[in-house]
Amino acid sequence: MDFVEQLKSSVDIVSVIGEYVRLRRSGAQRYMGLCPFHNEKSPSFTVHVVHQFYKCFSCGVHGDVIKFVMEKDGLSFYEALKSLAERYGIAMPKRSQYADEDSKLRGALLAMHEAAQENFAANLKSQAGEAARAYIAKRGLAPEAVEHFGLGYSDRTGRALIRLFEQRGFAVAQMEQSGLVGKRQDGSLYGRFRNRLMFPIHNESGKIIGFGGRALAAEDEPKYLNSPETDIYKKSYVLYNLHRAKETVRKEDRVILVEGYMDAIGVTAAGFGNVVASCGTALTETQVKAIKRHTHRVAVNFDPDTAGANAAERSIDLLLAEGMQVRIAELEDGLDPDEYCNKHGSEVYATRIENAKGYFYWVADRARAKHDMRTGEGKVEVLKLLVPRVQKISDPLERMTVANDLAGYMGVDKSLVLDYFRKAVNQRQDRKPAAPKNPLRPDERMLLIAVLTEPEWREEVLSRMKEMEALGTLESRRIFGAAFALAEAGGRLSFDEVNARLAEADQNLLAQALLNEDCEITREEVTAALESMRRSEAQYRRSQLKARISESERSGKIEEAMRLTLELQGLERTAREARR
Ligand SMILES: [Zn+2]
C-alpha cells in the first residue's frame, strides 16, 4: 500500500469534511450537507462513508478526502497530504516525491511567519516593548489573553527580524513574498511592520498566515496595518479567530461577530469562545460561507458608532442573503465589546447577546425612533426602510413570516404588507434543485455495488457479467470493463481503483450509483439482480437472433435462416420454462 492509500484508509472523510460542513446522516452509508463549493439552500452535497468520497449533485464537484482538503484549504497535493497526516498523527515518508515548487514557497512563507511570531513575542517582553505593554495594560488585557492570542511587538526597524530570516536561510525573494519585509530602491530591506502591536492572523487550520499591526504612536498611519495578500494570505477568505472559535461556534450553534482584533480578544477573554472578527472591512461571501459551515445563527456586535456605517450594513446584507439568522446586539454607553466586557462583566454581556434583537426588529426600532408612526407618512417611511431588507431573505416562507410579524410589530395593516411581499415572492421565482436521477437500471446498480463492496459475490457477479453479450447496451459497461481489467490484473477492487480508471462521465455515473440509495445489500437482492440480468441477456440474444434471421432471409441464405430459427425457438422455449 503506498502512502496515499495508507493515509486515506486511516482518515475518516466524514470527520474531515465535518470540520467544514454541517453533515447530517441521510442513510446507513451517506451523509449530506450544504455544498461548501457553491451556494445552495437545500443540501445536495453527499459524502459516502464506505467508499470515502464526496459529490455534489448540484454543482458536480467530487473527489476524495485529499482533493477536498486541497480545494477547501487552498493547498497543493503534497500540502494536503501533510496536513491530513499531521492531523491524524501519521508519519510522512521522509524523502517525498510530492514536494513541488509552489508548496516549497508556501512552506517557506509559513515558516517565516512562525519565525516572525517568535521575534514579535520576544520583542513584546523586551525593553523595546514597553509602550506596547503599556497599551495592553490600558486596554485591560490579562497576560493569559496576550499569551493565548500570541500578541507581539514589531520593533522600530525590523532589522532583527530580517537577520533572523537570514540566519534561517530564507532568500531575499522569499522575504519579499512573505509580505513581512519591504525592499528600498537601494536594495536594502526593512520590516513592513514597525513600532506596532502585532496580532497574528491564522487560517482555519491554525497556521499563522499574516499579521495585523496596531500603531502605537499617534502620528503613525494607518492605525491598523495588515499584511498584504501573499501566496498564503487571501484576505477575503480569513476571519480573525475562526480557527479557535469554530468548535465552540458549532457547540453553541451561534457565532458572535465583532469588528476588531481587540474586540475578539476581549470578548474571548471574558469567557465567550465563539467570537470571530471581520477586522473592520465588510464581510466577503467567502467569509460568510466560512461562518455558515459552522452555524446559521450570528449575533452581530459591531461598535455602536459604526453600526449604521457602510461596512456593517453590507456585511449584514450579505449574511441575510446567505440565509443566516442575524441578530443585533446593542451595547449601551457607546462602548466597544471588549470595553463593555471589562466594565460590566461577562454575565451582563451574555444577556446582551442572549437578548439581541432579530435584525428586522432592530431596524424597525431605529426607524420608529426617527419617524412618527402615528402619521401615514411616518409609516410609509418606515416601510420603505424595511421592505427592501426583508426581500433579501432568501427563504420564501421565512420572508413571509418576518413580513407578517413586522407588520404586527409596527402596527401597520397586515394585508397591505403581505400583499406587497406576495408580489415580491412571485418575482423571485425560487426553485429547488431537482433530485438527481440515476441513469443506471436497478439491477446493474445492485451488481455494481456488489462488485465494489462485497468480496464474497464479486467473482460470481464479474464472471456472469463478463459472459453477457448485452453488456454493451448497459450504461455501466465501461465501469464493469474497468472492474474486469482490475480483477484480471489481480489488483484491489476498491472504489478508488475503479474510479481512477474512469473518465469523468463514468466517474459521475459510479458516484451516483453509490450515493443514490444505500448500498447495503442482501444475498436475495443480488440473486434477484443476477436473475434480472439473465432475463435481459436472453431477451437481447433473441432480438439479435431475430435480426440475423431476417438478414439471412433477405440475402437468400435460407438454410442459415432455418438453423437460426431453430436456435431461436430453443431460446424461447427456455424462456417460457423459466417464467413458469
Ligand atoms: Zn455544490
pLDDT digits (tens, 9 = 90+) for 378-412: 877 787 778 878 877 777 777 778 888 888 888 77
Give mean pLDDT, residues 65-92.
85
pLDDT at 520: 66
Give mean pLDDT, residues 468-495.
88
pLDDT band at 435 (very low <50, low <70, confident <90, very high): very low
| CA 62 to centroid of ligand 1, rounded, Å | 9
Per-residue pLDDT reduced to its tens digit, 44-56: 999 998 888 999 9
| CA 207 to centroid of ligand 1, rounded, Å | 27
Per-residue pLDDT reduced to its tens digit, 84-110: 988 888 887 765 555 667 778 888 999
Give mean pLDDT, residues 510-528.
78
Higher pLDDT, 340 or 371: 340
pLDDT at 306: 55
Return the percentage of the chain with pLDDT > 70, whole number.
92
Report field, pTM of the whole predicted structure over 0.85: no
pLDDT band at 424 (very low <50, low <70, confident <90, very high): low
Mean pLDDT of the chain: 86
| CA 380 to centroid of ligand 1, rounded, Å | 41
pLDDT band at 431 (very low <50, low <70, confident <90, very high): very low
| CA 36 to centroid of ligand 1, rounded, Å | 7
| CA 505 to centroid of ligand 1, rounded, Å | 17
| CA 43 to centroid of ligand 1, rounded, Å | 9
| CA 55 to centroid of ligand 1, rounded, Å | 8
Higher pLDDT, 517 or 274: 274
Neighbours of 38 (CB within 10 A): 14
Kind of pairing between the strands at 325-328 and 297-300: parallel
Give mean pLDDT, residues 426-430.
51
pLDDT band at 309 (very low <50, low <70, confident <90, very high): low
Tell whether the model's pLDDT for residue 232 goes beyond 80: yes
SS3 letters for 541-576?
A: HHHHHHHHHHHHHHCCCHHHHHHHHHHHHHHHHHHH
pLDDT at 363: 83
Per-residue pLDDT reduced to its tens digit, 260-274: 999 999 999 999 999
SS3 letters for 56-109?
A: ECCCCCEECHHHHHHHHHCCCHHHHHHHHHHHCCCCCCCCCCCCCHHHHHHHHH
Q: Name the burial class of residue 538, with classes exposed (0-12), middle (13-18) and buried (19+) by CB atoms within 10 angstroms of its CB.
A: middle
Return the percentage of the chain with pLDDT > 90, whole number.
38
- Where are any strands of DSSP class E within 80-207? 152-154, 181-183, 189-191, 196-202
| CA 19 to centroid of ligand 1, rounded, Å | 17
3-state helix, strand, coil in the chain (%, to 5): 55, 10, 30
SS3 letters for 431-486?
A: CCCCCCCCCCCHHHHHHHHHHHHCHHHHHHHHHHHHHCHHHHHCCCHHHHHHHHHH
| CA 163 to centroid of ligand 1, rounded, Å | 47
| CA 511 to centroid of ligand 1, rounded, Å | 14
pLDDT band at 430 (very low <50, low <70, confident <90, very high): very low
Report the C-alpha gap between 159 and 4 in whole angstroms: 42
Q: Which of 12-21, 400-409, 505-514, 519-528 has the highest mean pLDDT?
A: 12-21
Tell whether the model's pLDDT for residue 20 goes beyond 50: yes
pLDDT band at 64 (very low <50, low <70, confident <90, very high): very high
| CA 61 to centroid of ligand 1, rounded, Å | 6
Tell whether the model's pLDDT for residue 182 goes beyond 80: yes
For cell 506596532, name the residue. 196
